[in-house]
């Protein structure tokens, strides 16, 4: 069984559906309001756990009622939360406006911003969680100093690490060399590497840099040439929230389970394509059985 540790954000999503986004100073009427569980870290943990990975979550929630519910949801999805910190900050939140299936998001870190390097170091000193992981995942909704500390430690311990650089921010090139996988979307790639040609970047980071392209799939360099891996064709998009997180969680599960780079991306694209046909950042993440029912699932993907 693949063992995946996710270091990242755990939040509540507040979602408003409307026909159009308001202009400055304008009020528009919404069609629906809902709350759901989110946070890029939690989304990716749920995606990998639903597929069958032994998943551990590291991060922080508040001592408020939202924190209790967030932990309960992770546990309901079979994720270990024994080392999630409780802090005095409010739990993290995201305010999502949904128009015609596309989203815009305001993220409030709250407790997620309080997850400090020393909290992570205490986990590493236990010598069991990070060190026994087949893959560690982290995103940028965690403080930069904590992310940088994790990258350096995983490199020292020879533990593979996937950095999903969302939201985008600059990263030291020395640290980038220590990352096993880097999975920006097009916009994030432009922020990370301003003014640089994508083909040149892919060639510079073979089998490391995976640029996700939404409905156009994803691209990477296999050491010989650039490979384009198409996305799943979807008749009706319901909600794109969390699609990238589902891709990352599914890719991590597939690669940690022994699939090749290209097949892991294909698997991630399939999972993401299924996820956008349901509402919510986490509720759309498929199980392995749901994946197997789809015609694009390859029989040679023999997961134990």
Q: Would you name the residues annotated as active-site residues?
A: 245
In contact, 59 and 112? CB cutoff 8 Å: yes
DSSP-assigned beta bridge partners for residue 223: none
Q: How far apart are CA 245 and CA 71, in angstroms?
A: 18
CA atoms within 13 A on the CB side of 164: 31
In contact, 242 and 199? CB cutoff 8 Å: no
Q: What are the distances in angstroms from CA 106 to CA 94, 97, 141, 276?
A: 6, 9, 12, 20
Q: What are the distances in angstroms from CA 187 to CA 20, 33, 194?
A: 23, 28, 10
3-state secondary structure of 169: coil
Give the rounded distance of the alpha carbon of 100 from its chain centre.
Answer: 23
Residue 49 sits at the vertex; the CA angle it makes with 162 and 15, to the nearest 5 degrees, is 85
Do the strands 181-182 and 85-87 form a parallel or antiparallel pair, or are they unpaired?
Answer: unpaired
Residues in the chain: 304
Encoded tokens for 49? 């756990």
* CB burial of residue 299 (10 Å; 0-12, 13-18, 19+): exposed
Q: What are the distances in angstroms from CA 27 to CA 18, 24, 81, 228, 231?
A: 11, 9, 40, 42, 36
């Amino acid at each position: 069984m693949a063992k995946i540790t996710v270091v990242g954000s755990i939040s509540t999503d507040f979602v408003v559906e409307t026909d159009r986004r308001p202009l400055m100073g304008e009020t528009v009427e919404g069609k629906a309001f809902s709350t759901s569980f989110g946070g890029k870290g939690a989304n990716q943990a749920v995606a990998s756990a639903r597929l069958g990975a032994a998943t551990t979550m590291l991060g922080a929630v508040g001592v408020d009622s939202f924190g209790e519910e967030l932990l309960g949801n992770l546990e309901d999805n079979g994720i270990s939360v024994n080392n999630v910190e409780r802090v005095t900050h409010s739990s993290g939140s995201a305010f999502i406006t949904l128009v015609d299936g596309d989203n815009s998001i305001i993220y409030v870190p709250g407790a997620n911003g309080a997850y400090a390097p020393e909290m992570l170091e205490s986990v590493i000193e236990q010598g069991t969680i990070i060190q026994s992981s087949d893959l560690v995942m982290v995103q940028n909704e965690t403080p930069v100093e904590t992310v940088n500390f994790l990258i350096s430690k995983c490199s020292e311990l020879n533990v593979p690490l996937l950095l999903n650089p969302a939201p985008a921010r600059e990263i030291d090139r020395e640290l980038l060399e220590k990352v096993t996988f880097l999975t920006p979307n097009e916009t994030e790639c432009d922020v990370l590497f301003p003014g640089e040609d994508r083909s040149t970047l892919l060639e510079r980071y073979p089998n490391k840099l995976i640029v996700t392209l939404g409905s156009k799939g994803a691209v990477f360099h296999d050491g010989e040439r650039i490979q384009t891996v198409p996305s799943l064709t979807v008749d009706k998009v319901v909600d794109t929230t969390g699609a990238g997180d589902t891709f990352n969680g599914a890719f991590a599960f597939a690669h940690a389970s022994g699939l090749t780079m290209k097949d892991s991306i294909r698997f991630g694209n399939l999972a993401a394509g299924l996820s956008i046909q349901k509402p919510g950042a986490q509720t759309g993440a498929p199980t392995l059985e749901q994946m197997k029912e789809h015609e694009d699932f390859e029989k040679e993907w023999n997961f134990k």
